[in-house]
Amino acid sequence: MPFGERDIVQRTYSVTDHIKSEAAQAEIAAIQSGFEAGGYVANFHIATAVYLARALDKPILVEGPPGVGKTELAKATAAHLGRELIRLQCYEGLDEAKALYEWKYGKQLLYTQVLKDKLADLMVGTDGISDAMDRLHEFDDTFFSPEFLEPRPLLKALQVPDGGVLLVDEIDKSDQEFEAFLLEILSDFQVTVPEIGTVKADVKPVVFLTSNNTREVGDALKRRCLHLYISFPDQALEMKIIDKRVPGVPESLLKQLVAFVQELRTKTIKKLPAVSETIDWARALMLLHTDELDEALVRNTLNLLLKFEDDIESVDTEISGMLRRAKDAV
């Protein structure tokens, strides 16, 4: 982990280690146990961030390498709170129309055709062009009413009656213009639809923004959020995660595969294996009915951990030594 990010995590741990309130400690413990019951293993640091976000009514900006559980944290929170999860996947070129709302143009056109067919009936009793135009104007607002509005994730999150969980996934992939637009939504949790009026959340959603650090997120957005950095887990925590997500892995195999992955992450390769890939590897090993790692098995399944052929080739000569050390760790 880069020094600055490690420093942030250490400072956060120093705060959480000195929580005096028994009520806060109990709530954080309840979040941890609730997450674990749903299959998400969260340490005290993560559970504290979720607790503070709800208590302070602030979004959480979750940063870290891909595959460490940033998106899963939002899903786990929604399941734990029993709230609807609303996900906005960011990408380059994402604009207000795709994120906030659109009009149902097809339905509007259909309604226009119906109105056209009934035009003669509507004009019955009118006296002159001016009177006929006044009659038509009575239908103007109908075309831009809630019936014709298609809410996208941001607007939908404001409309959930009991408050949902809004996940703005991979915010670093969006443009800075969209990031600035998002600030307006997150500041007041309301938006104005010109034809309808202001839509304000009755219950504010719990908001998660995730970033893989492909670009620096703006300072203005960071100031509005609690910051949470999720790094790769240590060996003990990763073993607990795998045991929870892939039940039935023999203890010796569990220790070997996690030790192997932990050392693999120390290598200079393009993409370090994420926790999600460790889970996939563990599932594959269970499907192959293996009780312990061997060199042939590792070579034949290494593509589950490493996604670039150059990475596989670069560690090929080290597999024997890594495997031996993984077995010694048992």
**Hey, where are the domains in the chain?**
3-98+152-229, 106-148, 235-328
- The whole-number pLDDT of residue 142 equals 62
The band of 187, judged by pLDDT with boundaries at 50, 70 and 90, is confident
Q: What angle is formed at CA 145 by the lines to CA 141 and CA 149, rounded to 5 degrees?
A: 140
- Cβ-proximal residues to 297 (8 Å cutoff; 6+ apart), any chain: 285, 288, 290
Torsion of Cα atoms, 261 then 290 then 43 then 226, to 10°: 60
The band of 300, judged by pLDDT with boundaries at 50, 70 and 90, is very high
Domain 3-98+152-229 is classified in which CATH homologous superfamily? P-loop containing nucleotide triphosphate hydrolases (3.40.50.300)
Tokens of 219: 């300072």
- The whole-number pLDDT of residue 104 equals 61
| Distance from C-alpha of 92 to C-alpha of 270, rounded to nearest angstrom | 23
Task: Name the more confident of 280 and 185.
Answer: 280
- The whole-number pLDDT of residue 100 equals 85
Pairing, β 101-103 against β 149-151 = antiparallel
Whether residue 8 is predicted with pLDDT greater than 50 in this model: the reply is no
Which phi and psi (to 5°) does residue 309 adopt? -60, -35
Q: Give the tens place of pLDDT for each residue, 273-291.
A: 999 999 999 999 999 999 9
Q: Give the tens place of pLDDT for each residue, 92-127.
A: 989 888 888 776 665 556 666 666 666 656 555 566
CA atoms lying within 13 Å on the CB side of residue 304: 18
Q: Give the tens place of pLDDT for each residue, 29-51.
A: 999 999 999 999 999 999 999 99
For residues 191-201, average pLDDT: 78
One-letter identity of residue 231: S
Q: What is residue 83's DSSP assignment?
A: -
For residues 17-22, average pLDDT: 64
Mean per-residue pLDDT over the chain, rounded: 85
Q: What predicted TM-score, i.e. pTM, was given to this entire model?
A: 0.79
- The whole-number pLDDT of residue 107 equals 57
Pairing, β 197-200 against β 190-193 = antiparallel
Q: What angle is formed at CA 44 by the lines to CA 11 and CA 306, rounded to 5 degrees?
A: 90
- Cβ-proximal residues to 70 (8 Å cutoff; 6+ apart), any chain: 62, 63, 64, 208, 210, 230
Q: What percentage of the chain reaches a pLDDT higher than 90? A: 60
Q: What percentage of the chain reaches a pLDDT higher than 70? A: 80
For 9-30, letters b (16+ CB in 10 Å) and e give: beebeeebeeeeeeeeeebbee
Lowest mean pLDDT among 130-139, 203-212, 231-240, 302-311: 130-139
| Distance from C-alpha of 52 to C-alpha of 46, rounded to nearest angstrom | 10
